[in-house]
Amino acid sequence: MRGRGFIFGVGTSSYQIEGAVNEDGRLPSVWDTFCATPGKVARGETGAMACDHYHRWEADLDLLAALGVDAYRFSIAWPRVMDEKGRPNARGIDFYKRLTDGLAERGIRAFVTLYHWDLPQWMEDRGGWLNRETAWRFADYADLMSRELAGRVTSWATHNEPWCAAYLGYGNGHHAPGHNVARWGTQAMHHLLLGHGLALPALRANDPHAQMGLVANLGPGYPGRDVHEDVDAARLYETYQNRWVLDPLLKGEYPADLFRLWKGTEPVVLPGDMETVAAPMDFLGINYYSRAVVSSTGADSFEWVRDPAVERTTMDWEVYPQGLQDLLEALRRDYPNLPPIYITENGMSSDDHVQDGVVDDLQRQSYLKRHFAACTRAMARGVDVRGYFIWSLMDNFEWAWGYERRFGIVHVDYETQRRTPKRSALAYAAFLRDRSL
């Protein structure tokens, strides 16, 4: 991972850090609405202020420069740049122009995600991702932003984690917009993937020197017991978690056994849709946090097996670096047309506090070292990984968990907005300084 061509970075997303939800023409998003709904977000917290990045972006870019990262992955807030009639909002667009220009001035590459879940509320009022029209409006949005930022962006990702947007947003209601209908989850996924495919031609036409791809959250499944039923359950888990997204993108079809899990939830797919979805990508972004150990609970169903003795994060996710290597090698084996990979998110939440001006996040430092090593092993075995982004640059609004889960390598005091680099950030900066030695 020390080669000159390998990219090291950090990531954030718009709703989690920007704040300024009512400024400069930004319209409401589904997350503004969700946060305002009692009982949806812990302690009733919202992203209205978040990390106030909209006003503090220059200082935050200086933080990036001090770390020495090659690239910064961030997302654009769709409600900030386009109104309900499809007209551009120049004040919102100018923010992202200032941001990308500021990155360029500091020698940092821009890795832009178009959709990190903050759907305009006016789109949700028309059906959101259940409405096929949203896929076309997403392509319009991609066209607008790739014209406005052409030449400023190294990499465009259409969606971040469509699994979360579809399943958590429409299938089980844990995320905005908060629907809880299994078939709505599969239909929303189809329209998200269709929007991805429809956006690619505009991105390529407007910014031909940039890379185009999509970011998926993936995790390997392991059988709880060495029996056929649990091996099948692990396979079924990977269908639900991984192949639901990857098979349409890389094979042009949904995995048949997906509908063993959710019988009768097949989405409406029109002629030509799957060819659009499966358009070639320049890269695949992978967000990896943990694995799943599962056991069969009968035909076509499974449950998670929890070992209380294993190391976990404050998200209650198992720390399992070997899972990243296993995942990467399985993808290389299962998808002959797999594009180059970026690890677009990897990190952990912990209960971090500033003591005497220091945040000594020992577990995170160990977590990152072990996951770097797992990625290195996969690369040594032939997996084409081009870059690695830590999640996240700084503590932020962690969706339905509000502000209690801290993923950042920079601590944020939400009362004062003071940023304090944690020991993990200092270690990352030292590693990046030393890689040329």
Domain extent, residue 287, equals 7-434
Two tokens, residue 100: 């990308």
Q: What whole-number distance in Å separates Cα of residue 318 and Cα of residue 327?
A: 15
Find the CATH number of the domain harbouring 239: 3.20.20.80
Q: Is residue 119 a part of any domain in this protein?
A: yes
Determine which one of 266, 345, 398, 404 is catalytic. 345
Other beta carbons less than 10 A from residue 401's beta carbon: 15
CA distance 275 to 109: 31
Residue matched to tokens 């890795």: 111
Residue 367: its pLDDT value, please? 98
Q: What burial class does residue 160 get, using C-beta atoms within 10 Å of its C-beta: 0-12 exposed, 13-18 middle, 19+ buried? A: buried
For residue 396, the one-letter residue type is N
Q: Does residue 357 contact residue 253 with C-beta atoms inside 8 Å?
A: no
Q: 109 phi and psi, to 5 degrees?
A: -80, 145
Structure tokens at 399: 């969706």
Structure tokens at 246: 């990857």
What's the rounded Cα separation, in Å, for the pair 163 and 429?
32
Q: Which pLDDT score, from 0 to 100, does residue 299 have?
A: 84
Task: Answer whether residue 123 is part of any domain.
Answer: yes
Q: Are 191 and 132 in contact (CB under 8 A)?
A: yes
Query: 333 CB contacts (<8 Å, ≥6 apart)?
Result: none
Per the CB < 8 A criterion, the answer to whether 373 and 346 are in contact is: no
| Residue 2 in domain | no
Q: What pLDDT sits at residue 436?
A: 60
Number of domains making up the chain: 1
| Residue 213 near residue 283 (C-beta atoms within 8 A) | yes
Residue 145 CA: distances (Å) to CA of 87, 194, 199, 212, 367: 12, 18, 11, 13, 36
pLDDT in tens, the chain (437 residues): 544 699 999 999 999 999 999 999 999 999 999 999 999 999 999 999 999 999 999 999 999 999 999 999 999 999 999 999 999 999 999 999 999 999 999 999 999 999 999 999 999 999 999 999 999 999 999 999 999 999 999 999 999 999 999 999 999 999 999 999 999 999 999 999 999 999 999 999 999 999 999 999 999 999 999 999 999 999 999 999 999 999 999 999 999 899 988 889 999 999 999 999 999 999 999 999 999 999 999 988 999 999 999 999 999 999 999 999 999 999 999 999 999 999 999 999 999 999 999 999 999 999 999 999 999 999 999 999 999 999 999 999 999 999 999 999 999 999 999 999 999 999 999 999 998 64
Q: Which amino acid is at 299?
A: A
Looking at residue 2, its pLDDT comes to: 46
Which amino acid belongs to residue 113?
Answer: T
Residues found in the chain? 437
| 147: exposed, middle or buried (Cβ count in 10 Å: 0-12, 13-18, 19+) | middle
Residue 42 makes CB contacts below 8 A (sequence gap 6+) with 400, 401, 402, 404
Do the Cβ atoms of 60 and 393 come closer than 8 Å?
yes
Residue 4's pLDDT is 61
Q: SS in 3 state form for the chain? A: CCCCCCEEEEECCHHHHCCCCCCCCCCCEHHHHHHCCCCCCHHHCCCCCCCCHHHHHHHHHHHHHHHCCCEEEEECCHHHHECCCCCECHHHHHHHHHHHHHHHHCCCEEEEEEECCCCEHHHHCCCHHHCCHHHHHHHHHHHHHHHHCCCCCCEEEEEECHHHHHHHHHHCCCCCCCCCCHHHHHHHHHHHHHHHHHHHHHHHHHCCCCEEEEEEECCCEEECCCCHHHHHHHHHHHHHHHHHHHHHHHHCCCCCCHHHHCCCCCCCCCCCHHHHHCCCCCEEEEECCCCEEEEECCCCCEEECCCCCCCECCCCCECCCHHHHHHHHHHHHHCCCCCCEEEEEECCCECCCCECCECCCHHHHHHHHHHHHHHHHHHHCCCCEEEEEEECCECCCCHHHCCCCECCCEEEECCCCEEEECHHHHHHHHHHHHCCC
Decide: 99 and 38 in contact? Cβ < 8 Å: no
| 1, part of any domain | no
Position 211 in a domain: yes
Q: Is 345 a catalytic residue?
A: yes
In a domain, 243, yes or no: yes
Tell me the HSE value of 44 on the side-chain side, using a 13 A CA sphere: 3
Q: How many angstroms separate the CA atoms of 410 and 417, rounded?
A: 11
Q: What order do you get walking across the sheet with 302-304 strand by strand?
A: 221-223, 292-296, 302-304
408 inside domain: yes
Q: Which residues pair with 171 in a beta bridge?
A: none
Dihedrals phi, psi of 222, to nearest 5 degrees: -130, 140
